[in-house]
A and B are shown apart, each in its own frame.
Chain A
Amino acid sequence: MADPTKNKDRLPPEVRAEALESLLAERGLIKSEVLDGFINRMVNDVGPMNGAKVVAKAWVDDDYREHLLADGTGAIKEMGFTGPQGEHIVVVENSDDVHNVVVCTLCSCYPWPVLGLPPEWYKDPAYRSRMVREPRTLLSEMGLDLDDSVEVQVWDSSAENRYLVLPQRPEGTDELSEDELAALVTRDAMVGVAKVGAG
């Protein structure tokens, strides 16, 4: 297997992307500005900052937390976050006894409205293959050591439900505002491969 590609003559993807765009544009099927709009939305409007606001609100408002756990989609929509890959969002809560972590073994399904597009590690075959089989070992390799007493719950998002982890609020943050709390919440904690630190 000297050259691990089937189509050895295939040109690099950046050229093929340009070719596809020019073919579709000259047929009037796409406009460059529309592509820019898609890209800008994913770069600027959606991302883990949305999920972090949801988590921080759940930490300071018990009624919202209950609503979020009972109806993730509705509670997240209340915060203004909707869109593709967010048709039905289920929020799962970490505690002293339970740790949740999310994976998509078949592709890389991910709750775009609250987390944006998935990072490279989430799409890595190593993550997709191992998280369902050796979650404790993989989490440890990724920097999260869990006590044997903690039950690990792995969610493989194989249908159209998308999962968001509600991490534990760190100790020593009683004085922080909702905005300050949101600034502590990371993408990795909302997927379940990290905990939230006190900053």
Chain B
Amino acid sequence: MDGIHDMGGMHGWGTVTIDPDEPVFREDWHGRAFAMGAMSMGLSGTNLDAFRHGLERLHPYDYLADGYYGRWLACAETLLVDSGVLAPGAVDARARNLSGESVIEPEDVEENKPVYERGGAGSLREIDDPPAFSVGDRVTAREIRTDGHTRMPRYIRGHTGTIHAHRPAALLPDTNAHFEGENPQHVYTVEFDSTELWGPGAEAAVLRIDLFESYLEAS
């Protein structure tokens, strides 16, 4: 989806500062949110791609305001509510009661976990199909436009680069996130010159990015 998460190449964010004394978790709740976010995938019967799509589905204001672990927390709630493990509004009502308000918490709802076939643990898969591209081939990134999940960022679409490396096959996030099948595919690291992506005035650099076979067409 063309969301706030797809940040590559955006202007206006200012500079980056490194805090050399940053702890792993700055707040206690960051650690709790991290752990519950990680566990929410199993508890909701979903997967990592659905989790990433859950992050992308947050309202853009919330995406930015929540910060990294706030997003994990909100995403955990989204997946657990989507799958009926928790009722809509349950977290808010409990939070209000923990804060001293007295509100009625919603009744549990029927579980609605996604039903789909999994090909094993993790994201990598062995596939028999021969790879469509070889190192050195020229390829163009397809103009994928979807309101669902994809790992094809906007700044790559329509641009032409060169296959730099063939990586292990992996399940396709675009369908796996929606429980529509793993569709494992070859993955390639594709190299783009900075001027191809950002125009003739671009800083000299090469950009390498991992793209699924169906994201690419021969050029």
Q: Which residues of A contact B (CB under 8 A)?
A: 4-7, 10-11, 13-24, 27, 29-30, 34-35, 38-39, 42-43, 47, 84, 87-88, 90, 105-108, 116-117, 119-121, 123-130, 132-138, 141-143, 148, 151-161, 188, 193
Contacts and interface: CB of A to CB of B under 8 A. Distances in A.
Contacts of A23: 86, 90-91, 94
Given A13-B69, A106-B7, A125-B10, 16 more contacts: A6-B61, A17-B32, A34-B35, A38-B35, A38-B38, A42-B24, A88-B167, A88-B168, A107-B5, A119-B18, A121-B18, A135-B203, A135-B205, A136-B203, A136-B204, A154-B205
9 contacts: A7-B62, A19-B92, A20-B80, A24-B43, A42-B25, A105-B6, A121-B18, A133-B8, A152-B203
A13 B73 contact: yes
Contacts of B95: 11, 15-16, 18-19
B34 A11 contact: no
A14 B33 CA distance: 9
A118 to B, nearest CB: 8
B59 interface: yes
Contacts of B175: none
B19 interface: yes
Contact of B153 (A17, A106, A137, A161): A106
Interface of B: 5-11, 13-19, 22, 24-29, 31-36, 38-39, 43, 52, 55, 59, 61-62, 64-66, 68-70, 73, 76-77, 80, 85-86, 90-92, 94-96, 98-99, 122-124, 151-153, 155, 165, 167-168, 170, 173, 187, 189, 194, 197-198, 202-212
A11 B99 contact: yes
With most chain A CB atoms within 10 A of its CB, the pick from B28, B38, B70, B95 is: B95
Given A121-B18, A125-B10, A125-B13, A4 B64 contact: yes
Nearest to B122: A87
A129 B10 contact: yes
A199 to B, nearest CB: 15
Contact of A136 (B17, B35, B205, B210): B205
A30 B152 CA distance: 34
A121 B16 contact: yes
B203 A134 contact: yes
Given A13-B29, A161-B167, A24 B36 contact: yes
A132 B8 contact: yes
Contacts of A132: 8-9, 155, 197, 207
Contact of A5 (B8, B31, B62): B62
